[in-house]
Structures are given as C-alpha cells and as structure tokens.
Amino acid sequence: MAACLLAAGRLNHAHVSPGSSNRFKPLGSRSSIIYPASTWIIPILMAITFHEAAHAYAAWKLGDDTAFRLGRVTFNPLKHVDPFGTILLPALLFLTKAPFLFGWAKPVPVQFRNLRHPRRDIALVAVAGPLTNMILALASAVLFHLVWLFPDAAAPWLVQTLSQSILLNLVLAIFNMIPVPPLDGSRIAMSLLPSALARPYAKLERFGFLILLGIIFVLPMLGGQLGADLNPFRWLVSIPLAWLAPIFLRIAGVG
C-alpha cells in the first residue's frame, strides 16, 4: 500500500523571472480553491502512479508476474488510483483545510513465494516505491531550472507545482519507510528479522490500517489532552524532512 501523508508545512514558493533561473521573488497568495488544488493534482497522481508501478515492475523482474498480469506495470494512473483513498478522502481533507492530506493507492499484489529469493526480494520490491519517489523529488528540483523558458503567466503555477512535488515525494518516501505494516518499511524489516520474529510481525498487517490511524490521529489527540507530544509523525517524518528538503531546494536553486 502507498499511504500519502502531507504535513501542514509548505515549501517556500517562488516566482521565476523569465531569462534567469536564479532570480526569484515571493509568489503571492491565491484565493481560488481551483488554483492551489491544480498544483497538487499532477504531483499526487505522478507520485502514487510511479510509486506503485515501481513496486509492480520490481516484483515482475524478480520473478512474480502477478501485478504484471493485472496490468499494474504501467504509468496509467487509472490502474493505481483508489477512488476513495486517492480522490475522495484527500479532496475532502483539502476542501476542509485540514493541516495534512492522507490517502492511499490500490495496493500492488505480490506473491512472495514466486520471488526467486523471497527474503531478499521482499525488501527490494518494497524499497522500489520510496526510491522512485526520491527520484521524482530530484527530477522536480532539476526542472526548476527550466521554468524560465515558460511564459510569465505559467511560471508561478509551475514553481508551485514543482514545490508541491518535492514536498509530496519526500514525505511519501520517508513515511513509507516507517516499519509499520502495511507500509514498505515493514516489508524491509520483515526481510531482515529472523524467521521466528518475522512470522508474528507479518501477522500485524491485518491490523495495519488501524495501527496507522491510531498513530496518525489518536496518539496526537491523546497527547493534546495529556499535554504531551505524542505525535510520531513529527519525530519520524518531520525531522528527516527538515534535513532533506533544504538539500533538494538547493538543487532547485531556491535554497
């Protein structure tokens, strides 16, 4: 499963003046819902599509053709989109101005017993998704240097869209590496654990979604009532993001 969780923070947006990729000025706020929504749609569709296609491609090349036979080795987003998890829930959170977005794509089916080296290949299939998101974040940063080629009217939208793409792909990569079923990090942990521990750990996946909801929603609310910081997202995602984001912004030329 690819779960998409976005922090309330935003990367600093900039306007790229034509003729120079190094001249930036702040981008004014936009009141229309359509404008900011449009800067999220393409990054979200690309992030989840490439993430899931990477899982499917890795599994296929490592010996399991289940996803390939189901048409999941493709960059067609319709093959990976979950109507509720990818569209309705994120849209509802966006329209209600929630401090984060949360959603998921259709999970890629993998028959681990078909993999040529199951313990090793489970980890390789799992890491393919987050690694692809890191590559997309890097590509988005590099594309900043081409924005000056576009008309002035399009430049602010392109910069904001690329900024969202960097943020989204970094968060998606970091979040999915958390070793909580059914996230990708749990598959990597499963491949590293001794068999005696891996089997009971794998059984947690049936409760994985409830565990995620508890971590994301219940613990922070409980912490608020107790006056304690019980927000694992802050510890596990925000700290790595605070370290990685400036690196990618420097690559983009806006850091």
Instruction: Count the neighbouring beta carbons within 10 Å of the beta carbon of residue 239.
Output: 11
- In the chain, which ranges are E strands? 3-6, 14-16, 24-26, 101-104
Ramachandran angles phi, psi of 24, nearest 5° = -125, 150
Rounded (5°) CA angle 48-53-59: 135
- 3-class SS of residue 155: helix
Q: Could you give the CA distance from residue 237 to residue 138 in angstroms, rounded to a whole number?
A: 18
Instruction: Count the neighbouring beta carbons within 10 Å of the beta carbon of residue 233.
Output: 17
Residues 6+ positions from 161 with CB-CB distance below 8 Å: 38, 39, 42, 43
Nearest CA to 88 among 78, 101, 70, 99? 101
> Is 52 tagged catalytic?
yes
Ramachandran angles phi, psi of 28, nearest 5° = -65, 155
Structure tokens at 246: 């400036």
Structure tokens at 223: 């912490």
Q: Could you give the CA distance from residue 239 to residue 198 in angstroms, rounded to a whole number?
A: 28
Residues 6+ positions from 182 with CB-CB distance below 8 Å: 1, 107, 205, 208, 209
Among the listed residues 14, 48, 52, 168, the single catalytic one is 52
- Residues known to be catalytic: 52
